[in-house]
């Protein structure tokens, strides 16, 4: 399974996803976004296979999508009517992000906590609520996964089986050496975004969106990708905010997080598949701010948003 290319998988299963995240420029060590030295760094790409049926509680498709069912899954998903995301109560993992081992510990803790918070929400949405994703913190330039081979220091999500999140530890360690607070903001936001893809996967949004994209072309297909990516960021930010009593987002960390989300998205020369920085910022803050009382997935309806909001 490890050497299957995306093309082969597409032929085999009829639907495969590539959910990339964003591109990012790191601020200077002084942590002032306005004075940042900008070096474009792509942070995520993902290839995704349709989920299996194990652990499915309700709406998981097993026999493929059509235009109507896929639209319903992305636009009218029960996820959008779920209650406020509960706080996981997890504090910020208390490690310096300066070794592979410590990055792995940090991200493992984040996954454990996000699983606890999202589980009841996914249950309410009749999704695969009891499936915890795997985590691979890797140091490879090219990594072979069940979703195909991925090259570059990218974070991504593969939905095969129970789903797996891939995080490149060297990038985080490098960031930490330049600016520890930035690295924490980045590591936190990245894993939250990838977990957002897991939430999409558990509620069938991911494969439905991929089916849709494969039946589109040109900018329509790119726009579908942008809707998926911007939603993952919105969901990730919603979790971060929902848990901010236990894991405070304030001071320098909040400043850095705001920098991360306002400098992520499509970079010049890259495909327009992630969304503009402006819109990435918009949807991240939409998730983070929620309705003013709490954070919920209903803030993340990117699939029915106006074209200007997903450009
Ligand atoms: Zn992504």
Reported as a single tens digit per residue, the pLDDT across 291-305 is 999 999 999 999 999
Report the distance separating Cα 114 and Cα 202, nearest Å. Answer: 14
Among 70-84, 219-233, 261-275, the least confident range: 261-275
Asked whether 272 and 281 are in contact (CB, 8 A), the reply is no
* Spacing, Cα 49 to ligand 1 middle (Å): 14
* Spacing, Cα 157 to ligand 1 middle (Å): 7
Mean pLDDT of 91-100: 98
Q: What was the pLDDT predicted at 24?
A: 54
* Spacing, Cα 5 to ligand 1 middle (Å): 19
* Spacing, Cα 129 to ligand 1 middle (Å): 20
Mean pLDDT of 233-252: 98
**Residue 249 in tokens:** 């987002």
**Mean pLDDT value across the chain:** 83
* Spacing, Cα 144 to ligand 1 middle (Å): 18
* Spacing, Cα 44 to ligand 1 middle (Å): 6
* Spacing, Cα 250 to ligand 1 middle (Å): 25
Look at residue 111 and tell me whether its pLDDT is greater than 80: yes
Mean pLDDT of 226-247: 98
Neighbouring C-beta atoms of residue 55, cutoff 10 Å: 15
Mean pLDDT of 249-277: 94
CA distance between the termini of the chain: 35
Q: What are phi and psi of 42, to 5 degrees?
A: -65, 135
* Spacing, Cα 192 to ligand 1 middle (Å): 10
* Spacing, Cα 273 to ligand 1 middle (Å): 10
Among 30-34, 85-89, 95-99, the least confident range: 30-34
Q: What was the pLDDT predicted at 257?
A: 98
DSSP alpha helices (H): ranges in the chain?
Answer: 6-13, 67-75, 100-124, 169-178, 180-202, 205-214, 218-242, 251-262, 277-289
More confident residue, 41 or 239: 239
Model confidence, pTM: 0.84
Residue ranges of domains in the chain: 92-309
Q: What was the pLDDT predicted at 60?
A: 36
* Spacing, Cα 194 to ligand 1 middle (Å): 6
Mean pLDDT of 215-223: 95
Percent of the chain topping pLDDT 70: 80
Which residue, among 184, 276, 204, has the nearest Cα to 233 in the 3D structure?
A: 276
Q: What was the pLDDT predicted at 55?
A: 27
* Spacing, Cα 195 to ligand 1 middle (Å): 9
203 DSSP 8-state letter: T
Q: Which residue has the tokens 């998730």?
A: 287
| pLDDT tens, residue by residue, 21-77 | 544 544 432 222 222 222 223 333 332 222 222 222 223 343 589 999 999 999 999
Confidence of residue 152 (pLDDT cuts 50, 70, 90): confident
* Spacing, Cα 92 to ligand 1 middle (Å): 22
* Spacing, Cα 156 to ligand 1 middle (Å): 6
Among 55-59, 237-241, 255-259, 267-271, the least confident range: 55-59
Confidence of residue 110 (pLDDT cuts 50, 70, 90): very high
């Amino acid at each position: 399974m490890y050497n299957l290319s995306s093309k082969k998988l597409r032929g085999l299963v009829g639907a495969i996803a590539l959910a990339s995240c964003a591109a990012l420029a790191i601020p200077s060590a002084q942590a002032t976004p306005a004075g940042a030295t900008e070096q474009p760094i792509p942070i995520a790409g993902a290839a995704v296979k349709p989920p299996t049926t194990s652990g499915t509680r309700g709406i998981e498709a097993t026999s493929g999508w059509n235009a109507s069912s896929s639209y319903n899954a992305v636009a009218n998903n029960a996820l959008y009517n779920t209650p406020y995301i509960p706080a996981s109560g997890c504090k910020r993992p208390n490690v310096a992000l300066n070794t592979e081992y410590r990055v792995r510990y940090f991200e493992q803790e984040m996954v454990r906590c996000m699983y606890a918070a999202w589980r009841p929400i996914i249950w309410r949405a009749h999704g695969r609520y009891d499936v915890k994703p795997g985590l691979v913190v890797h140091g490879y330039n090219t990594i072979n996964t069940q979703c195909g081979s991925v090259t570059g220091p990218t974070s991504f999500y593969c939905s095969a089986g129970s789903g797996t999140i891939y995080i490149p530890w060297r990038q985080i360690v490098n960031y930490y050496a330049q600016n520890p607070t930035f690295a924490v903001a980045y590591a936190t936001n990245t894993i939250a975004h990838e977990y957002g893809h897991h939430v999409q996967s558990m509620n069938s949004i991911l494969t439905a969106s991929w089916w849709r994209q494969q039946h589109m072309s040109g900018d329509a297909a790119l726009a579908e990708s942008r809707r998926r990516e911007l939603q993952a960021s919105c969901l990730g930010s919603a979790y971060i905010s929902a848990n901010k009593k236990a894991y405070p987002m304030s001071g320098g960390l909040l400043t850095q997080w705001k920098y991360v989300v306002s400098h992520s998205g499509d970079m010049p020369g890259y495909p327009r598949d992630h969304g503009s920085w402006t819109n990435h910022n918009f949807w991240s803050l939409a998730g983070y701010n929620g309705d003013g009382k709490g954070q919920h997935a209903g803030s993340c309806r990117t699939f029915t948003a106006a074209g200007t909001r997903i450009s």
